[in-house]
A and B are shown apart, each in its own frame.
Chain A
Amino acid sequence: MLLIDCPYCKEMRPEVEFSHAGEAHIDRPADPSSLSDEEWESFLFLRSNRAGICFERWYHIHGCGRYFNAVRNNVSEKFILTYPAGQKRPSDAQIKGALS
């Protein structure tokens, strides 16, 4: 069972309190009606699905009730960084810093 550093609780908390909520940094378009089918398809279905470092959303459903974002290596399963929803995607340098 992983420990996850909840950016709102500011504590390492057990994985069972959380649920995974998909890829992070996919903003819902402000006006979906203005989108072409291809653009809407891309928003709706297309995900990066990379092995390695990825950006994810997590929901502290049995804790503070907040959705937040995480940088995680989905091969080693390790969390690298967590940060509140709405915050900018961390830079490569920040991720590197967190890894070292």
Chain B
Amino acid sequence: MSEFRTAKGGRICRKTPLNFSFDGQSYAGLQGDSLASALLANGVHFVARSYKYHRPRGIMSAGTEEASALVGIDRGKGRFDTSTRATTQELFDGLKAQSQHCWPSLKFDVGALTALGSPVMSTGFYYKTFMWPKAFWEWVYEPILRNLAGLGRAPKEMDPDNYSSIHAHCDVLIIGAGPAGLAAALAASQSGSKVILVDENNEIGGDLLNCPIAQIDGTNSWDWLAETEKQLASLPNVTILTRTTAFGYYDQNFIGVVQKLSDHLGSLENKPDNKTLRERLWKVRAKRVVLATGSIERPLVFAGNDRPGIMLATAAKTFLNRYGVKVGNRPLVITNHDSAYESAFDLAEAGVEVAAIIDRRAKISSKLVEQAGKMGIEILLGHTIVQTSGKHRVCSVRAAPVGENASIRKIKCDAVLMCGGWTPSVHLFSQSRGTLTWRDDIGAYVPNNYTQDATSVGACNGDFLMSQSLNKGAVAGLEAAVSAGAKAPKSTSYKVVNEALTSDIPVEEIGIFSTIGEGKAFVDFQHDVTAKDIGQAVREGFHSIEHIKRFTTTGMATDQGKTSNLNGLAIASAALERPITEVGLTTFRPPYTPTSFGVLAGYSRGDLFDVTRKSPTEKWAEQNGAVFEPVGLWRRARYFPKTGENMHEAVARECKATRTSIGISDASTLGKIEVVGPDAAEFLNRIYTNPWSKLGVGRCRYGLMLGEDGYIFDDGVVGRLSEDRFHVTTTTSGAPRVFARMEDYRQTEWPELKVWLTSITEQWAVIALNGPNVRKLIEPFVEGIDFSKDTFPHMAIREGMIFGVPTRLFRVSFTGELGFEVNVPSAYGLGVWQRLMEAGKKFDIVPYGTESLHMLRAEKGYIIVGQETDGTQTPDDMGMNWAIGKKKQDFIGKRSLVRSDMLAPNRKQLVGLMTNDANIVLDEGAQIMGEKSNVIPAKMIGHITSSYWSETLQHSIALAIIDGGRARMGEEIYISMPGGFYPARIVDPVFYDPEGERLNV
């Protein structure tokens, strides 16, 4: 056992020794240790280098507020966590920790040389220095700074851990399981309210864990804690979550909570099932929230206050009482608050020689003087520290009377315990958009106006005494349960003996920074911001606290200024010569403590990263070697290569087969809506540009839908099944927005129409068959439909059976060939497809995907909404005035079509392009110019919207939109591409079978 481990006491398990390593050196610790307490038990204080100046740093706290002792924790491949607080990392056997911000080693660090030039690296250094010359930023400064910058390093491997998330609902959520939170939980749970109690520590108790000498209602505090835990755990309506941090407080009592499940268990690398969860995200919705988040001790700002061995006074007490670790053999205390005396007395009680208590105050309570006297501890009243010494650990301080630079006295010590008062943890309260009020007596902000159903109790509300926490917690718990709907339970009150000391702290004592003394006086330990930096920011004209924060970066590190914010405010207040309440406050933002990306991503990784929608025939395509592409959430077959074929060859073969015999393709992803009701036709009249009243039953029509702005919104074929029933199709990606739009008008603009909509997109599998032999293929398998050319013409729909299953058979074509779209109930899509493939063998049927689909329609000049259009094209721009019902009084977007700019002759219009060189396939998106010109800026007259190699025409073809294009037929234009200017001729967009003879066979 090391000389720093006490002989008895603490909450560690002395029977369970653990081995761990820090920077490759092996050490021993105990079960129940934090990494920090285990290091201190081995006499190790120097554990890190600071971020900016690479100064040696030690362990400054015992908890979540730690800003200095940040280390890397290696739990195996892909499981490296950077900037982990040594104070919150529980020790496990085999733990491997590494220091950061140092190279080649912690003790000899090249980066620390920057400290020699530190006057140069004053605040705002980065902003100012690297501004000029501009090109230097990209090539010189950034690569160098990137290499030096950052808080630790991130692992390069994929995170192998499992993360989960859950929505939880409760009556009362209690955040913090110290005395206030526990009393609240006991009270709230009495009458059956559903209570969730969370605490970020590995065990509940909060400040009780530091105070074994306190007695609650005559019971020793630790016994009371054990009894309370037992009682709460036995209640089915109470959920206690330890190692669980409420990191964000959102609207309407929605709280983000992260539960750590395995970081304390050691390496998961050898667990074969990989089912262990690392963290779980609880998305809690609480009727009522009790904030019992405690308070954080403030450091004092004095020259050289950052050496290893200098820590918060309460940290020393926690290490002693909770972990059985003495932080030194000769600690010295510097304070302006009574609570630091507890640390001194507890250490003295444990046999540690306290070097002295330096108290900035001229007068303190006689009880403290008496007690110190009894213990033989010297008190220097009205004194402060003006300098500290010790390279890798503090070894002495120089004390002087406050405000003087004389009568300096050197005092040897191996640790300095500082206390500058206490700051209530109002982070979550502030995130809830509550407003704070300043309390002069404690020198801190406390909650004032609540905007959500919450209440703050205990130290986070400025009530620092344990008895206040318990009693006010009990009342808050009771009220919370009642306001959440429970019957009024009985009230409780607590009596506490030997509770913590508290005292007033005058406002001028906060963030006190004396210009007397040598060395840097740190405010923000993690971001290396000194008191001088804040003064400099003010001198340079930054007067808003938000600007001061950003210029100096104080409070902007991963600890979010837990220990520095108020000191920073106070120093700014002095520099600005404005009262602290007029300086303002910076914003508290989630997360309260660093939160892993893994837990925020939760289930959204791997197969569950996003939904992959597969069409009913996808299985066949998969088995037959299709290459897929994502289309929205859908996965669609792009082409079906035969062995050795590339995409170009496959598409050429697929197109040729479709034009000469039969191509088969899955069109199931098209949106489909069944529009039913006596006013269905009238409804469609208003939705589409086309007229619908006279469309005969059994006939189809291409429909064009505009926005109210007159621009093309969606398109598709609509079939009339009966007088009052239409089968509407939409684009694949437009399906949800078309449905939402139709519902909107139906519900809110035309509620008088008797019409209803049902999404049937996934009710039907759609198999598109195109080519001259299609009729011959399907006719034998269809029942109840007359297939003759005249009774079942192009643009018609029939209902019947195919292969014994019901079908809605559309005679439509998106290829220009004889085409049928076979709709069958989705579960039969695969079976029908397989039968068609089988039966189609004698016609050399060929499956094709989206690539050929696009090619085939482009040869016909059929547009794709979203490819030829970008949301600024009118029907006329697309040459589709034929789709507008001229006699209709109104339809969505009609009024916009007669705005003057919509009628301008030089609008961009759809045209076809034929390249002069048949083999040049133009780039989609390439810009078009009227002349070959390198003059900048060149005048662009349009761009390519679609471009392909046409196997049928043995020529490259393209669709484009060009200023006044229809009036420019035959003109030569130039397309700018990386290889130069390519000439092409403007032609009609219908390249193939312009008369449409192939459709009407």
Contact = CB atoms under 8 A, between A and B. Distances in A.
Interface of A: 1-3, 19, 21, 27-28, 31-33, 35, 37, 40, 43-44, 57, 59, 61, 65-67, 76-78, 85-86
A44 B894 CA distance: 12
Interface stretch (B618-626, B725-733, B739-747): B739-747
B744 to A, nearest CB: 6
Contacts of A2: 251-252
A35 B749 CA distance: 18
B254 A44 contact: no
B708 A44 contact: yes
Given A67-B747, A86-B751, A31 B252 contact: no
Among B283, B708, B748, B890, max chain A CB count under 10 A is at: B748
B451 A76 contact: yes
A66 B747 contact: yes
Given A44-B709, A67-B743, A76-B433, A33 B895 contact: yes
Given A67-B748, A76-B451, A31 B890 contact: yes
Contacts of B16: none
18 contacts: A1-B251, A1-B252, A1-B254, A3-B252, A21-B744, A28-B749, A32-B895, A33-B894, A33-B895, A40-B896, A40-B899, A57-B748, A65-B743, A67-B743, A76-B451, A77-B251, A85-B747, A86-B751
B25 interface: no
A43 B710 CA distance: 13
A32 B890 contact: yes
B744 A32 contact: no
B890 A67 contact: no
Given A1-B251, A44-B709, 11 more contacts: A1-B250, A19-B740, A31-B889, A37-B899, A43-B708, A59-B740, A65-B743, A67-B748, A76-B451, A78-B251, A85-B747
B928 to A, nearest CB: 30
A8 B748 CA distance: 14
Contacts of A19: 740
Nearest to B745: A28
B52 to A, nearest CB: 38
Among A21, A31, A67, A76, max chain B CB count under 10 A is at: A67
Contact of B744 (A31, A44, A59, A78): A59
Contacts of A1: 250-252, 254, 283
Interface string B242-276: 00000000111010000000000000000000000
Nearest to A45: B709
Contacts of A32: 890, 894-895
B748 A86 contact: yes
A21 B749 CA distance: 14
B441 to A, nearest CB: 31
Contacts of A61: 740
Contacts of A57: 748
Contacts of A28: 708, 749
Is the interface on chain B under 10, 10 to 19, 20 to 34, or 35 or more residues?
Answer: 20 to 34
Interface in B268-302: 283, 285
A69 B744 CA distance: 12
A57 B748 CA distance: 10
Nearest to B167: A14
Contacts of B749: 27-28
Interface in B862-903: 889-890, 894-896, 899-900
A8 B229 CA distance: 44
Interface in B736-771: 740, 743-744, 747-749, 751
Nearest to B747: A67
Contacts of B251: 1-2, 77-78
A37 B747 CA distance: 27
Contacts of A31: 889-890
Interface string B568-609: 000000000000000000000000000000000000000000
Given A1-B254, A77-B251, A40 B744 contact: no
A83 B709 CA distance: 28
Contacts of B254: 1
A46 to B, nearest CB: 13
Contacts of B252: 1-3
Contacts of B743: 59, 65, 67
Contacts of A85: 747-748
Contacts of A86: 748, 751
Nearest to B285: A3
Contact of B889 (A21, A33, A35, A77): A33
Contact of B890 (A3, A33, A59, A66): A33
A28 B744 CA distance: 12
A74 to B, nearest CB: 13
Contacts of A65: 743
A54 B329 CA distance: 66
Nearest to B451: A76
Nearest to B433: A76
Contacts of A21: 744
B393 to A, nearest CB: 49
A33 B889 CA distance: 8
A57 B740 CA distance: 13
B946 to A, nearest CB: 30
A44 B451 contact: no
Contacts of B740: 19, 59, 61
B896 A44 contact: yes
Nearest to A29: B895
B483 to A, nearest CB: 16
A78 B250 CA distance: 12
Sorted from nearest, which 4 A-B pairs have the closest CB atoms? A32-B895, A85-B748, A28-B749, A3-B252
B170 to A, nearest CB: 15
B895 A35 contact: yes
Nearest to B710: A44
Contacts of B890: 31-33
B685 to A, nearest CB: 14
A86 B735 CA distance: 26
A7 to B, nearest CB: 13
Nearest to B252: A3
Among A32, A40, A86, max chain B CB count under 10 A is at: A32
A67 B896 contact: no
A3 B287 CA distance: 12
A37 B897 CA distance: 11
Nearest to A77: B251
Interface in B213-265: 250-252, 254
Nearest to B709: A44
A16 B2 CA distance: 56
Contacts of A59: 740, 743-744
B742 to A, nearest CB: 12
A21 B894 CA distance: 22
A22 to B, nearest CB: 10
Contacts of B709: 44
Interface string B433-453: 100000000000000000100
Nearest to A65: B743
A66 B709 CA distance: 24
